[in-house]
Amino acid sequence: MTDLDFENWTCPLPLRDTPSIVMGHGGGGAMSAELVEHLFLPGFGAAAATGLGDSAVVTAGGARLAISTDSFVVKPMFFPGGSIGDLAVNGTVNDLAMSGATPLYLSTAFILQEGTALSELARIAEAMGAAATAAGVRLVTGDTKVVDSGSGDGVYINTTGLGVVADGVDIAAHRAAPGDAVLISGDIGVHGVAVMSCREGLEFGTAVRSDTAPLHGLVAAMIATGADLHALRDPTRGGVSASLNEIARAARVGVDLVERDLPVPPGVRDACSLLGLDPMQVANEGKLLAFVPAAQAGDVLAAMRAHPHGEDACRIGTVVSEHPGMVVARTALGGTRVINLPIGEQLPRIC
Amino acid sequence: MTDLDFENWTCPLPLRDTPSIVMGHGGGGAMSAELVEHLFLPGFGAAAATGLGDSAVVTAGGARLAISTDSFVVKPMFFPGGSIGDLAVNGTVNDLAMSGATPLYLSTAFILQEGTALSELARIAEAMGAAATAAGVRLVTGDTKVVDSGSGDGVYINTTGLGVVADGVDIAAHRAAPGDAVLISGDIGVHGVAVMSCREGLEFGTAVRSDTAPLHGLVAAMIATGADLHALRDPTRGGVSASLNEIARAARVGVDLVERDLPVPPGVRDACSLLGLDPMQVANEGKLLAFVPAAQAGDVLAAMRAHPHGEDACRIGTVVSEHPGMVVARTALGGTRVINLPIGEQLPRIC
């Protein structure tokens, strides 16, 4: 891939210098990263762990544990294929799973707006219970706050998860290495389009339903192959673009994609065309990206395809030593394009 | 205490039957408890641990761990003596400490309203960093969501903490037993009045500053006496009333207080008189209640008074086998009154 001038390529925008929070700071893209790097980390100072990633692997009482936290503010709270309750459980379960952890316990904290219907809250609680049971995690502690009408928006849920990481499992973004195959577990963009279609009252021909699902079982099946899984990521906010860019930067490697190999289902393609969205930037809630040595990719793909959440798994690219920190796609026309880390928020309030 | 007709005493209100969330559901009193008991626990079903208390002690990877979660929505975000950042760290550290845990790690999750000044957020992050450093905990993982203007209210923070519980430490509400002395670590009602004075632009003669502080050091000093600490609770929302009632109910014991022994500082007394509040229902953020066998109370009190966060520790009551589940105070006039679990929210958005 030599038709891009990598030497003179720069980040399309410098650091944003706004005096206040804008929606983009919550998009999981460049602005979110800047907020962590330039505000939270300096503010937290010595108390902060480096990076403050989606999950942390720590040691406590001699145990090797993964911790992950996520707040959910999706709007609307119910959408085709799921609800904020499903997301709140599966999202945190998946962040733990991406460290190779076996999820065990979740805390649940609610910020409720005055006036929220108890019947809606009960539906959400039931969805959380069902999702937790399906994922085999226990809801062990909780908190409820209520904010006055006008100071909230229905239901916000935080879940924080605790899991155990087996000895020998070392899955981290920085381990992605040249020669790795880049795999995806199935169709992309489905969750974001499902929420968007519901929110905007749009119809895209085919009904698109959220892919919300717990992925730790799929990860366990991948680990069981004995392959050396280098990095895993569930491409939620900011989509596949954000996740691939984060891994490329963390590992200081390049990622080369073959654009036509990206599994974009027709409903997502149509919706994105209509709305001017890039499917690679649309959120997923039941998919994972895996970076594994190419020689082991066949075994891992076979294990993924044998699992209900990985039936459509496929290879979409390769890690290279060229253009470190950058993700480049070979287009259908034979050219190449840079897949940037999304700047801000393409679809706000998507999870 | 025989001048009350315990046989015919009933809870002042039956279960509330509102169709929607009201502020009281977030007050840490009876309505909060009802929401957990009648909505969250049935909704979560088999996935829920019994009780869903302020913290849970679990086993993971062979380690004995405490987990606690809290969201903070205090308004205003800065108040005399502290900020939402201090509360977010100390509040969760304290919930862990009340299980006898040594707090180790916190996750931090922000829900930010579009338009929040970055300078305010930076001040909050600095307060969190300083509080975490002071408490000796690390901020290891995080999340940021942004909601549109009108759908949030500045900054909401969730922290979830993980700590280690030493073998042999068994501190739990249900262990309170007849013959226990009930101790408090210092003046009550300070935090609530500090926030309220700031919010309403009131002045109460003396400046009242929040008591926000981490209490695990104090707890460690109490444990080090070798006393058998039965139960600990930091009386935040719902104040001393709520905490004592919860422990009385969990342990099926009665609590007898001597009202004049309650340490209510003049600023709090004046403010409560003016506003018609009960100091026992006002939130504290740097105090604890301890239930210890009376024979060990002297040693424990001495250890508390030797610690900066327990200098004014004193005994306020006794656990009895009569009137189980009820808290009764002997008044200055020699009568008795029932200290009820607060129903809803006396001072909303206090933490």
A143-181: pLDDT as tens digits: 999 998 877 778 999 999 999 999 999 999 999 999 999
Q: What is the pLDDT of residues A324-345, one digit of tens each?
A: 999 999 998 889 999 998 887 7
In the predicted structure, residue A52 carries a pLDDT above the cut 80: no
Residue pLDDT, tens place only, B149-192: 877 778 999 999 999 999 999 999 999 999 999 999 999 999 99
Percent share of chain B, pLDDT over 70: 93
pLDDT confidence tier of residue B274, bands split at 50, 70 and 90: confident
Alpha carbon distance, N-terminus to C-terminus of chain B: 35
Q: B333 in contact with A at a CB cutoff of 8 Å?
A: no
Give the pLDDT mean for A192-202: 83
Chain A, window 160-199: residues with a beta carbon less than 8 angstroms from a chain B beta carbon? 160, 162-164
Instruction: Find residue A139's DSSP bridge partners.
Output: A106, B48
Using CA atoms, how far apart are residues A66 and A39, in angstroms rounded to an integer?
Answer: 24
Mean pLDDT across B115-144: 95
Alpha-carbon separation of residue B40 from A14, A79, A84, A138 (angstroms): 46, 21, 15, 13
**A44 in B contact zone (CB under 8 Å):** yes
Q: Which of A151, A133, A119 is nearest to A214 (CA)?
A: A133
Question: What's the confidence (pLDDT) of residue B5?
Answer: 56
pLDDT score recorded for residue B10: 43
What's residue A150's pLDDT?
76
Are B109 and A60 a contacting pair at CB < 8 A?
no
**Collapsing DSSP states into helix, strand and coil, what is residue A285?**
coil
pLDDT of residue A203: 63
Tell me the DSSP string of A117-145: BHHHHHHHHHHHHHHHHHHT-EEEEEEEE
Q: How far out from the chain centre does Cα A78 lie?
A: 20
Q: Which of residues 243-302 of B touch A (CB under 8 A)?
A: none
Asked if B32 reaches chain A (Cβ–Cβ under 8 Å), the answer is yes
A203 touches chain B (CB under 8 A): no
Find how far residue A153's CA is from the centre of its chain.
23
Cα distance from N-terminal residue to C-terminal residue, chain A: 35
pLDDT band of residue A17 (cuts 50, 70, 90) is low
Structure token pair of residue B316: 């306020």
Give the mean pLDDT of chain A.
Answer: 91
> Distances in Å between the alpha carbon of B106 and those of A38, B163, B169?
20, 9, 22
pLDDT in tens, B196-228: 888 876 666 568 999 999 999 999 999 999 999
**B5-24 CB burial, b ≥16 within 10 A, e <16:** eeeeeeeeeeeeeeeebbbb
- In terms of Cα–Cα distance, which of A89, A233, A86, A79 is closest to A160? A89
Tokens of A182: 């880049």
Query: Quick one: pLDDT band at residue B90, thresholds 50, 70, 90?
Result: very high
Q: How far apart are alpha carbons A28 and A24 in whole angstroms?
A: 8
* Shortest CA distance from B108: residue in chain A: A69
> All domains of chain B, ordered by start, with CATH?
173-338 (3.90.650.10)
Q: How confident is the model at residue A216 (pLDDT cuts 50, 70, 90)?
A: very high
| Closest residue, chain B, to A161 (C-alpha) | B160
| Average of per-residue pLDDT across A19-31 | 88
Most confident range (mean pLDDT) of A191-200, B69-78, B143-152 is B69-78
Share the mean pLDDT of chain B. Answer: 91
What local confidence, expressed as pLDDT, does residue A318 receive? Answer: 98
Residue B266 parent element (H or E): helix B266-275
Provide the pLDDT for residue B207. Answer: 81
Q: What's the length of chain A? A: 351
Distance CA A107, CA A96 (A): 13
- Interface confidence, given as ipTM, is 0.93
pLDDT 10s digits, A88-101? 999 999 999 999 99
Residue range A259-298, pLDDT digits in tens: 999 999 999 999 999 888 999 999 999 999 999 999 999 9
Amino acid at B321: S
- DSSP 3-state assignment of B103? strand
